[in-house]
Amino acid sequence: MRCPCGSGSPYDECCARYHGGERAPTAVALMRSRYCAFAVGDTDYLLRTWHPDTRPEALELEPGQRWLHLEVLSWTGGGVLDAEGEVEFRAHYRWSGGREELHERSVFRRVDGAWAYVEALG
């Protein structure tokens, strides 16, 4: 199975390793792996990679939502030597019989050396 993040690599060689516990090396890699977690329904990973200051207590995914593909549009910071970064993306999905998209700029910050999702800027 190809990885839902759009890398073109098999899931087992791409985001599955992050879902299994390996740390994402960049904010973009974390963002891709979080998109993939939405696509495969891995709420544990989503909560684990959410910044503790903004993480909800629980997360329920919409059962009728089907994630179709991801476009990473731009990013600033978020590299292997950075402490913060922003990633702009479009996530396309199917919902209630129609196609939708989520266009967002997300903020990421390192926590104990691991990237974490902080919040959406819009």
Task: Kindly report, residue by residue over 13-31, the tens digit of the pLDDT.
Answer: 999 999 999 999 999 999 9
User: What pLDDT does 97 receive?
Assistant: 87
Q: Which domains does the chain show, CATH number per domain?
A: 2-121 (3.10.450.50)
The DSSP secondary structure of 8-45, one letter per residue, reads SSBGGGTHHHHHTTPPPSSHHHHHHHHHHHHHHT-HHH
Question: Do residues 35 and 29 make contact, with C-beta atoms less than 8 angstroms apart?
Answer: no
pTM for this prediction: 0.94
Looking at residues 90-96, what average pLDDT do you find? 94
User: What pLDDT does 1 receive?
Assistant: 87
* Through-space distance between the first and last CA atoms of the chain, rounded to whole angstroms: 32
Looking at residues 70-94, what average pLDDT do you find? 97
Say how far apart CA 100 and CA 65 lie, in whole Å. 10
